[in-house]
Amino acid sequence: MLTILQLPVLNDNYIYLLHDPDSGESAVVDPAVAQPVLAVLEQNNWQLTMILNTHHHSDHVGGNLELKQKTGCTVIAAQVDQNRIPGIDSFVADGDLITLGKYSAKVISTPGHTSGHVVYHFANENALFCGDTLFVMGCGRLFEGTAEQMWQSFQKLKALPLSTRIYCAHEYTQINGRFALTIEPDNQQLKQRMVLINQLRDKHLPTVPSTLQQELATNPFFREDSLDVQENLKMKGSQPVAVFAEIRRLKDSF
Ligand code: ZN
Ligand code: FE
C-alpha cells in the first residue's frame, strides 16, 4: 500500500509525504517548508524521490530548493508555471501520468485559484491531492482565474469516483462549514457534519482527508445545481456556473 503521511505546518497548511515501501521511493506534495519533511524522511530512513507541486504560491513551494539540494529529488510541476516554480525539473500538463514506484497519478489541470494549478489523482489508491482548488466544504480563492474556469475545474473533480479521498492543502474546514450553513441552513448532512468537524477541531485534530461523496453532499461549490441552494440564493433556474459564481462572491466577503 502507498503510505500517506500528513504533516501540519505553518498556520493551517498540510504537506503530504507519500512512500512506496517496495521501491523505496518517496514523494512530497506541496512542501511549504523543508525542515519537517527532512525530519520525517530521516526518522523513517526514506529517500525523497520527487516533489509534486500543485501551484506556485510560496506556502506550497517554500521548501522546494532546500529539499532538492539536500536530497537530490526531482521537482515536478505544471509546464505553464515553469518560470515561477523554484527548482522545477520536469513539466506536466493535463492528462499526464507521473509514477512513484508501482503507483501512478494522473495530472488534472484545474485553473481558477491560479492559472497553472494542477491536481494529482492516484486512481488506484483513491487519493486526490488537490492543493488550493478544492477544500473540505470550500474552494480556493480566484486569484488568477474566473468563476467559470473554477467551475469547469470542479466539474472535472466531480466526475471522479465517490470514494476518492480529498487531500487538500489547508485546514479551512470549520470556517468553510460555517459559510456553507449560510447557503444551505437546512442541509441535514451539513449540520451533522459540522457537529463532527467542531468536535475534531476542539481536539486540534485534522478534518482532512474528506471524501468526494462527503463533499458532494455538503460543499456548496459542488451544490450549485441543487434546487435548495438556488432557491436560497433566489436564483432558481439560473445557469449552474452563475450560481457557482455567486457562491464564490459571497464567500469572498464572508
Ligand atoms: Zn494557493
Ligand atoms: Fe495555499
**33 with 156, same domain?**
yes
| Buried residues in 102-112 as b, exposed as e (16+ CB within 10 A) | ebebbbbbbbb
**54 with 115, same domain?**
yes
- Alpha-carbon distance of 122 to 120, in angstroms, equals 7
pLDDT of residue 238: 97
pLDDT in tens, 43-75: 999 999 999 999 999 999 999 999 999 999 999
Q: Amino acid identity of 13?
A: N
**246 with 162, same domain?**
no
Active site residue 121: no
| End residue of a domain, out of 168, 197, 227 | 168
pLDDT of residue 165: 98
Active site residue 117: no
Catalytic residue, chosen from 19, 56, 57, 121, is 57
Average pLDDT over residues 134-142: 98
Q: What is the CATH number of the domain that holds 117?
A: 3.60.15.10
**144 with 205, same domain?**
no
Three-state SS letters, the chain: CCEEEEEEECCCEEEEEEECCCCCEEEEECCCCCHHHHHHHHHHCCEEEEEECCCCCHHHHCCHHHHHHHHCCEEEEEHHHCCCCCCCCEEECCCCEEEECCEEEEEEECCCCCCCCEEEEECCCCEEEEECCEECCEECCCCCCCHHHHHHHHHHHHCCCCCCEEEECECCHHHHHHHHHHHCCCCHHHHHHHHHHHHHHHCCCCCCCEEHHHHHHHCHHHCCCCHHHHHHCCCCCCCHHHHHHHHHHHHHCC
| End residue of a domain, out of 103, 137, 168 | 168
Average pLDDT over residues 162-186: 98
Reference 93, options 112, 116, 113, 74; nearest CA is 116
Q: Which structural domain, as residue segments, surrounds residue 221?
A: 173-252
CA of 247 from ligand 1 middle (Å) equals: 19
Q: pTM higher than 0.75 for the full model?
A: yes
CA of 113 from ligand 1 middle (Å) equals: 7
Active site residue 113: yes
Question: What is the percentage of the chain residues whose pLDDT exceeds 90?
Answer: 100
Active site residue 60: yes
| Total number of domains constituting the chain | 2
Q: Which ligand is nearest to the CA of 110?
A: 1
pLDDT band at 134 (very low <50, low <70, confident <90, very high): very high
pLDDT band at 6 (very low <50, low <70, confident <90, very high): very high
**108 with 203, same domain?**
no
pLDDT band at 119 (very low <50, low <70, confident <90, very high): very high
| End residue of a domain, out of 120, 141, 168 | 168
CA of 59 from ligand 2 middle (Å) equals: 5
pLDDT band at 183 (very low <50, low <70, confident <90, very high): very high
Q: Which ligand is nearest to the CA of 15?
A: 2
**180 with 229, same domain?**
yes
pLDDT in tens, 221-251: 999 999 999 999 999 999 999 999 999 999 9
Active site residue 94: no
- Determine contact, residues 129/54, Cβ cutoff 8 Å: yes
pLDDT of residue 95: 98
pLDDT of residue 27: 98
**114 with 150, same domain?**
yes
CA of 76 from ligand 1 middle (Å) equals: 17
CA of 55 from ligand 1 middle (Å) equals: 7
pLDDT in tens, 104-115: 999 999 999 999
pLDDT in tens, 203-225: 999 999 999 999 999 999 999 99
